[in-house]
Amino acid sequence: MRLLNKVALITGGGGGIGRATALLFAQEGAQVVVVDVNDAAGEETVAQVTRHGGEALYVHADVSQAAACAAMIQAAETRFGKLNILFNNAGIMHPRDDDAVGTDEEIWDLTLAINLKGVYLGCKYGIPALRRAGGGSIINTASFVALLGAATPQLAYTASKGGVLAMTRELAVVHARENIRVNALCPGPLRTELLMSYLNTEEKRARRLVHIPMGRFGEATEMAYAALYLASDESSYVTGAEFVVDGGITAAYVTPE
């Protein structure tokens, strides 16, 4: 078991990448704290972990709120005694997110509050817990769109994920000597409810698919396995990385400097 005796907290654990990762981490021996704002979805993830013989706790938390983030970390330490892995995965992709002209300020603020501020707050309260545990791994969910522009405009989302990458790099450097590794997972387009609800027409989906060399959307479980590597001691010399798992899309469009 690759995460035996580890405690992992996963935000956005009620579905998609978060649920797939919670199930995989538990299968690999971790005790898992599932965090979400959708209580039914979060509890269902915990139920699935339990049915497969794992141990998990659900915590309701809006990651854009400092008190909620402090409470979720405290809940992890209270229940399991420590925190070794922090997966800042919660995020939104609002259907009204567009270009600079078409995106309302309220959509911008909401997206940045959850996708970027939520990662900051997770780290703000999670890093002291990792210190208490003697170190650990932080994984922040970014996106391939932080590395190249999205064909379908989603400016607030893209900007928020670019911010996650920049923050990840700085935290990795700042905390490297504390045995705290910080990496960004950059998924490509996935066949998850989050993206499919945004790409809500065949035209939008086809426009995204045409750019992917593999010719298909990725699966949440494929991202979970990438997160497993970053969470495990197998990646002990990996920090500050942009771990791109995208079916080849950035290789096709990003030119090395």
Strands 31-36 and 7-11: parallel
Map tokens 């400097």 to a residue: 257
Here the tokens at position 30 are: 């971790």
Give CA separation, 7 vs 28, 62, 256, in Å.
11, 21, 38
Query: 225 an active-site residue?
Result: no
CA proximity to 88, closest of 165, 203, 4: 165
Give the whole-angstrom CA distance, residue 17 versus residue 242.
17
Give the whole-angstrom CA distance, residue 120 versus residue 113.
10
- Contact (Cβ atoms closer than 8 angstroms) between residue 249 and residue 211: yes
Q: Select which of 58, 120, 125, 157 is catalytic.
A: 157
Burial class (CB within 10 angstroms; exposed 0-12, middle 13-18, buried 19+) of 251: exposed
Give the whole-angstrom CA distance, residue 63 versus residue 161.
15
Instruction: Give the residue numbers annotated as catalytic, written as ranges.
Output: 157
